[in-house]
Amino acid sequence: MIKNDLYLRALKGETVERPPVWMMRQAGRYLPEFMEIRKEYDFFTRCQTPELASEITVQPIRRFPLDAAILFSDILVVPQAMGIDFKMKENTGPWLDDPIRTAEQVQNVIVPDVNDTLGYVFDAIELTLEKLDNEIPLIGFAGSPWTILCYCVEGKGSKAFDIAKSFCFQQLEAAHQLLQKITDTTIAYLKRKVEKGVSAVQIFDSWGGMLSPEDYQEFSWKYIDQIVEALSPLTHVVVFGKGCWFALEEMSRSKVSALGVDWTVSPEFARKTTGGKMTLQGNFDPARLHSSPETIRKMVHEMINRFGKDQYIVNLGHGILPNIPVENAEAFIRAVTEWKG
């Protein structure tokens, strides 16, 4: 049994003494001990070496009173497993030498045996669970099929993903074929994570907000919902769609355990749109962690009071930024553990 099950109780909608807290991208980026590892090993080596991935996962747990850990990995390990050769370029981010732009390329994308291609992730889960020793839950994650497609077609990060969108609009059949292959691989990947012992999974739809509400239904939500349907009988599923406020009502009708919201919506809007009966997660602006610890504390308490302590998980509205002072990250977390209703 997990000793601190506050996060799991919030996902179940139970009454809690305070809301649980964790931070997206809490494993790495802003921690000095992570930067030491980064000096020695490149990005995907860190992801693909179970000992390194598990160590990075627990680094913030050693420092802070967090209520959940999230496995250190990356959403692009899934397309890598499908034979799409992503690299991480310094000062550029994700990079693909040969982006997917044709139906023939889509045909050549494989749906792999995840045990063969992603075994290192499952090994990292085993090592991490040993280190956590049932203290707190471990979260597994994957990118949404749409978000993965964006990188595969664009070949790199983008502010608008125009090439990816054009591909979908001009080569509809190929786009849906690629999205389905990503979906099938993701379902197998997350199921195996659950078998290995993660307590919940989160789907990151980082680029869902690039689409119109209608296109979101066709190219993103339809595939996310397949994942939710497949995983919800097995574990808690959280969906976080950045910029997807327009889809919150539809999402709330699915079998998700919780919905993540970014900082562009108010707690009141998120509660009203999701019917007031859904566990919500978020939505502190990551850049606000540049404020003073006193201001952070005050804003976090206000955020909790607006969302309400029950059916709520305190988090950022996106991943923590690399240049956040460690003491400010700590102020955010301790503001939650010290909150009194």
Is 15 a member of any domain? Answer: yes
Q: What is the pTM of this model?
A: 0.98
| Average pLDDT in the chain | 98
Lookup: tokens for 205: 């739809």
Say whether 306 counts as a known binding-site residue.
no
Say whether 29 counts as a known binding-site residue.
yes
**Over the range 189-207, which residues count as b (16 or more CB within 10 Å of their CB) and which as e?**
bbbbbbebebbbbbbbbbb
Is 1 a member of any domain? Answer: no
pLDDT tens readout for residues 18-53? 999 999 999 988 999 999 999 999 999 999 999 999
Q: Which of 7, 18, 30, 151 is catalytic?
A: 151
Q: Which of 29, 41, 123, 310 is catalytic?
A: 29
Could you tell me how many residues make up the chain?
341
The answer to whether 85 and 96 have CB atoms below 8 angstroms apart is yes
Give which of 50, 70, 128, 43 is closest to 320, Cα–Cα.
70
Catalytic residue flag (residue 30): no
Catalytic residue flag (residue 62): no
Q: How many domains does the chain contain in total? A: 1
Is 297 a member of any domain? Answer: yes
| Helices within the chain (DSSP H only) | 6-11, 32-40, 43-48, 50-63, 77-81, 103-108, 114-117, 119-132, 145-154, 162-170, 172-196, 213-216, 222-231, 248-252, 267-273, 293-307, 326-337
Say whether 318 counts as a known binding-site residue.
yes
Largest interatomic CA distance in the chain: 58
**The predicted structure's pLDDT at residue 28:** 87
Cis ω on the peptide bond leading into residue 115 (within 30° of 0)? Answer: no
DSSP state of 320: P
- N- to C-terminal Cα separation, the chain: 27
Say whether 189 counts as a known binding-site residue.
no
- Give the CATH number of the domain where residue 282 resides: 3.20.20.210
Q: Which of 25, 41, 120, 310 is catalytic?
A: 25
Say whether 44 counts as a known binding-site residue.
yes
Say whether 204 counts as a known binding-site residue.
no
Give which of 82, 84, 79, 110 is closest to 97, Cα–Cα.
84
pLDDT tens readout for residues 208-225? 999 999 999 999 999 999
Range 39-46 contact pairs with CB under 8 angstroms and sequence separation of 24 or more: 42/88, 43/74, 43/88, 44/74, 44/77, 44/80, 44/86, 44/87, 44/88, 46/72
**The predicted structure's pLDDT at residue 240:** 98
**The predicted structure's pLDDT at residue 143:** 98
State the pLDDT confidence band at 341, using cuts at 50, 70 and 90: confident
**The predicted structure's pLDDT at residue 90:** 86
Domain membership of residue 142 as a residue range: 6-337
Q: What is the distance between the alpha carbons of residues 253 and 255, in angstroms, rounded to a whole number?
A: 7
pLDDT of 91 above 90: no
Q: Which of 18, 46, 67, 74 is catalytic?
A: 74
Q: What is the distance between the alpha carbons of residues 123 and 139, in angstroms, rounded to a whole number?
A: 15
Catalytic residue flag (residue 74): yes
Is 151 a member of any domain? Answer: yes
Q: Which of 38, 41, 120, 310 is catalytic?
A: 38
Cα-based torsion angle of the residue sequence 164, 165, 166, 170 in order, rounded to the nearest 10 degrees: 110
